[in-house]
Structure 1
């Protein structure tokens, strides 16, 4: 049920309500809006583009976000389709400075979680 955009056959729209995590490892770039999946993708060291074409409407409807942009955005922000396509065409490079800052701030790393969890439980 994965659909491609007719004019962009390498861009896939993933069905709502389905588990997207198995696809993340194969993704070259993540395009998201306000989803927390961006935090999970930080560990992939791949570009994240935040497509926030409706940010003003989003803020009016939901109010301020719980997390500030400085604690969330680790890549380029596109507010229009043209900006999004430009970023994709330019092969939006991962903003390593922003990614590193967020990974450090939230203590994200590539260590196996089970030993750390076991250590914490045992203590």
Structure 2
């Protein structure tokens, strides 16, 4: 039996539904190419933060997919979603995975490339 604020548990059969992150603003206006570079740098270094590479790969695929496919990806990979926007997740062994908002959605102050 879990409490109201508990995270997803495999046994309860009620996984947390993924949703889009809330709108956010980068500390300064950013171009699409700069955003892509930030994302690539994050994903290239993410496995060094700990956790398993296959979970990082699944989280990347989910971050780049539409919500329905993202839900299927995290469910099949055994990812436990703490925050519905995927900013905080765990694997079945309890390793924590934190994703910055810039890999999950675009900022409100995205500007055109020159």
TM-score, normalized by length of structure 1? 0.24
